[in-house]
Amino acid sequence: MQEHADALWVGIDAENIAYRKLIVELAEKNRLPAMYPFREFVEVGGLMTYTLDFVDLFTRAAGYIDQILKGEAPGDIPIYQATKFELVINMKAAKVIGLAIPPGLLLRAGEVIE
């Protein structure tokens, strides 16, 4: 009996980001539903991502910098834990691999790429 993966989860390693198009193509070729760390994978044809809202994080980082530049001690600034995430689903990718996305999941998505 030959072993076969049922799905793929891609980590945030730099080499994965550099080879995102190849990774997405291989997942599609092998008809593997895949979860990616960043929306850039989904934009090149990947199935879906559930990731941090980086615009929110960068806005908060700018606020931290502003506070520090105005004299606030970095140790006195409360640490923010991310609470905003985005789910992006690529329906074209789902169709290519023959995967039906449940309607409830589609309703929760912040963006659905047709």
Query: 74 pairs with which residues across the strands?
Result: none
Q: What is the mean pLDDT of residues 80-84?
A: 85
Integer angstrom CA distances of residue 109 from 48, 49, 55, 77, 91: 10, 10, 17, 33, 11
Integer angstrom CA distances of residue 23 from 13, 37, 72: 12, 12, 44
Q: Is residue 47 within 8 Å of 87, Cβ to Cβ?
A: no
Total-model pTM: 0.79
User: In this structure, what is the dihedral angle of CA atoms 13, 34, 113, 97, given to the nearest 10 degrees?
Assistant: 140
* Other CB atoms within 10 Å distance of the CB of residue 10: 20
Mean pLDDT of the chain: 93
pLDDT digits (tens, 9 = 90+) for 39-78: 999 999 999 999 988 888 899 999 999 999 999 999 999 9
